[in-house]
Amino acid sequence: MEFNRHISRRLHEEHDATLTLWGRVESTLVAGKSDPALLKSAAASLSHELDVHFEFEEKELFPRLAAAGEADIGELLAEEHAAIRAAGRSFIELVRSDPDAAQLRPLALELAERLFSHVQKEEMSLLPMLEDLVDEEADGELTAAYTS
C-alpha cells in the first residue's frame, strides 16, 4: 500500500526494517545457527521499538483513533505492545547478560512471531486509518514529534 502521510510512511519504513531483521533472526535460529552479532542488532532495534515506536503510538496515535471512534484497534495494539514489551525486555537482557542461554532461542522465535503478526495488523489497520484521520498540519506535527 502506498502511504501519502509522512508519519504513515515513516512507520511503514520502520515496519519493513523490523520484518527484515526479525526474518533474518528467525531464519538463522530455525536453521540451528548461532549469530551473536545478529542477536545484538535485534536487541538494539527492539529497544528502539519498545522505547520510541511503541510509546509514540500509544501517546500520540491511539488517542486519535479513540477520538475518531476507533478505540478498539488502539486497545488491541496496546495489548500486543504489552506482551511484546514483556518478552522483549527479557530478550534484551538475555542478549546482554547471557547470550548462550538456552531460553534465548525460543524467546527470540516467539518475539519474531509476535512482531510479524503485530506489524501486519498495524499495516492493515493503523496506517490506513491514519491516512484518513490525519490532515496535512497534524501529519507535520506528528512527524516532527516522532523524529525529535
- Indicate the average pLDDT of the chain: 96
Task: Please report the pLDDT score of residue 111 as a whole number.
Answer: 98
pLDDT tens readout for residues 103-128: 999 999 999 999 999 999 999 999 99
- pLDDT digits 0-9 by tens, 13-57: 999 999 999 999 999 999 999 999 999 999 999 999 999 999 999
Judge if pTM exceeds 0.85. yes
CB 141 within 8 A of CB 7: no
Q: Which three cell numbers stand for residue 107?
A: 524467546
1 band by pLDDT with thresholds 50, 70 and 90: confident
Q: Does domain 6-147 have CATH number 3.40.50.300?
A: no
Label each residue of 81-139 as H, E or C.
HHHHHHHHHHHHHHHHHCCCCCCHHHHHHHHHHHHHHHHHHHHHHHHHHHHHHCCHHHH
